[in-house]
Amino acid sequence: MSSTTVYPARKIITMNPMQESATHVAVRDGRVLAVGTLADMQAWGAFELDTRFADKVLMPGLVEGHCHLKEGSMWDWAYLGWFDRRDPQGKVWSGLRSMDAVVARLTEVAAQMDAEGRPATEPLIAWGFDPIYFGGERMTVAHIDRASVTRPIVISHANGHLMNVNSAMLRLAEITRDNEVEGVVKFAGGAADGEPTGELQEPAAMFLVLRKIGNAGLLAPMTEAGVRSFGRLACLQGVTTATDLVNALTEVDCGVLETVTQDDDFSVRILPAFKAFHGTHAAALGAEHVRGLMPRNTDRLRYGLVKMMLDGSIQGFSARLRWPGHFNGAPNGIWVTAPAQYETDFETYHRAGLTIHTHTNGDEASEAAINAIERVLARAPRADHRHTLQHAQMIDAPLFRRMAALGLCANLFTNHIWYWGDQHYEMTMGPDRANRINACGSALAAGVPLAIHSDAPVTPLGPLFTAWCAVNRVTPKGRVLGEAERLSVPQALRAITLGAAWTLKLDHEIGSIECGKRADFCVLEDDPLAMDPAKLKDARVWGTVLSGRVFEARRG
């Protein structure tokens, strides 16, 4: 018989409504054998008592239902974000609060590359930039050329939907005034009228650059070092299961994932979602590819998810909004996938039995997805499909009711309330719609299964911070956006554990601490249910347990 280890804790938050708390948990073969009192443990016979968590709080391992593994590898490039940000080694990079500061950091990196003797043709790649914080000023080639007019420079926006490049990169990518690809922004008026500004919106326009430099700026390269860095970040944040919600799933990508996740020292379970964007492949071949990978599933690596995309970014003004459109009068956004094509491709993956996660930001895109899925389900009913709308930030109560009737799940991007809430209130949506952004309360009231997420590296990985956003709904300027949409702390904790597990079809294995489930724990110094809800984001993480294996978070 396998050995049993019993862990006493100051408190165990089980997320099981039929047994909400306990003092001891027994683990055997990487699974929860028993949860309850010491007497409950003793009923199973001999065990080893491990007291390392005796003064700590255990809860289910946190589940990040929408993130990207490039959070671990983006740090090979220059960070240009507005907010201070901690890298996988624990270093805090200061946020850049002016366009001049952004240019100064680019200039510094370009000079360093020159000093290291790196070829002038090697691009300088940076990430995290977001012009919405700079008022109405948009970055153009005139800004970036101050850093270099010879070395190609590529800047990925924080949202991942836009990029800026300098004149050297425009030349390399052969982007001129004659280019008619949607998303290539051009100057209007002045001496440069009709010339490209260097801003490229959404995949079709960004592809003109990516085809010359690889996936940099949209998808960081899949490397063992990057995935291991992501694992360190996940452990720091109490995450034991995480998605990679856009992955080409090439043999190289799969080889990296399979190598790293086979290492017993890797601390997080990964679910990579196949990049099912129209134009990159035939849907039938994509479905066959994903199904062919599923027999290679292990505890730490699970194939089977599909990622589709309809629109772009709200703060990047490439999302598709219903009437009355953008608050500042900006034109409506871009269809990354035409709705009719989305419906055709969705049906192919649906009929193949796969679980589909669809990016929709604006409410027009969400409504288009719901309409298409409703028609697909009428033609091809499928029980318990758990297809999920990701981000889904502008969905209102009537749309949530339609989602509930169709069995759709929602994974809402609550971090937006903090990172862009003021900008949505003042620029993109206006007060009324901003007050119901990421409407968690309405989703639950309609009966829609709910998860919440970070979309790292768009915002930093950290489910407890994401929960804090959903509970408090406060912006940097002190606004409370939609008090009635707030979650209680228990509701928010469920959304980052069992709720997220449900959207991934893993709730039978993870998300709560119950007999038979994986022994996945988030180990905390603080009790999130006893804290001031305003301080939930400050709950200290000691480390994690993944399928019974203990990982202490490494800081610095």
> For each successive 10 residues of the chain (556 residues), what is the average pLDDT?
93 97 98 98 97 98 97 91 89 94 97 96 95 90 97 94 96 95 94 96 92 66 92 96 96 97 98 86 93 98 98 96 97 96 97 98 98 98 98 98 98 98 97 98 98 97 98 98 98 98 98 98 98 98 98 85
Domain boundaries, the chain: 64-69+223-511, 74-213
In angstroms, what CA-CA distances link 494 with 33, 342, 456? Answer: 22, 31, 20
Task: Please provide the DSSP assignment of 326-349 as one string.
Answer: -TT-PPP---SS-HHHHHHHHHHH
* 171-196 exposure pattern, b = at least 16 Cβ within 10 A, e = fewer: ebbebeeeeeeebbbebeeeeeeebb
CA dihedral angle for residue 152, residue 157, residue 163, residue 167, rounded to 10 degrees: -40
User: Where are any strands of DSSP class E within 326-483?
Assistant: 355-360, 388-391, 409-412, 450-452
CATH topology of domain 74-213: Diaminopimelate Epimerase; Chain A, domain 1 (3.10.310)
Beta strand 184-186 with 124-129: parallel, antiparallel or unpaired? unpaired
Phi-psi region of 479 (alpha: psi -120 to 50; beta: other; left: phi over 0): beta
Tell me, what's the pLDDT at 59? 98
Q: What is the DSSP letter of 480?
A: B
Q: What six digits make up the tokens of 69?
A: 């593994």
Q: What is the rounded distance in angstroms from the CA atom of residue 113 to the CA atom of residue 119?
A: 8
Q: Which CATH number fits domain 64-69+223-511: 3.30.450.20, 3.20.20.140, 1.10.3720.10, 3.90.1150.10?
A: 3.20.20.140
Beta strand 62-64 with 450-452: parallel, antiparallel or unpaired? unpaired
Q: What is the DSSP letter of 472?
A: H
The residues with which 269 forms a beta bridge, in sequence order, are 241
Q: What is the rounded distance in angstroms from the CA atom of residue 7 to the CA atom of residue 513?
A: 13
Q: What six digits make up the tokens of 68?
A: 């990207």
What is the rounded end-to-end Cα distance, in angstroms, of the chain? Answer: 40
Tell me, what's the pLDDT at 216? 47
In angstroms, what CA-CA distances link 10 with 7, 108, 141, 371, 523? Answer: 10, 49, 57, 49, 11
Q: What six digits make up the tokens of 91?
A: 């270093």
Q: Give the largest Cα separation in the chain, rounded.
A: 83
Look at the block and give the residue holding tokens 């009929």.
Answer: 351
CA dihedral angle for residue 65, residue 66, residue 70, residue 72, rounded to 10 degrees: -40
Nearest to 316 by CA among 76, 139, 100: 139
Phi-psi region of 317 (alpha: psi -120 to 50; beta: other; left: phi over 0): left
Between helix 339-351 and helix 363-379 the angle, nearest 10°, is 40
Q: What six digits make up the tokens of 138?
A: 């948009």
Neighbours of 135 (CB within 10 A): 9
Please give the backbone phi and psi of residue 6, each rounded to the nearest 5 degrees, phi first: -110, 130
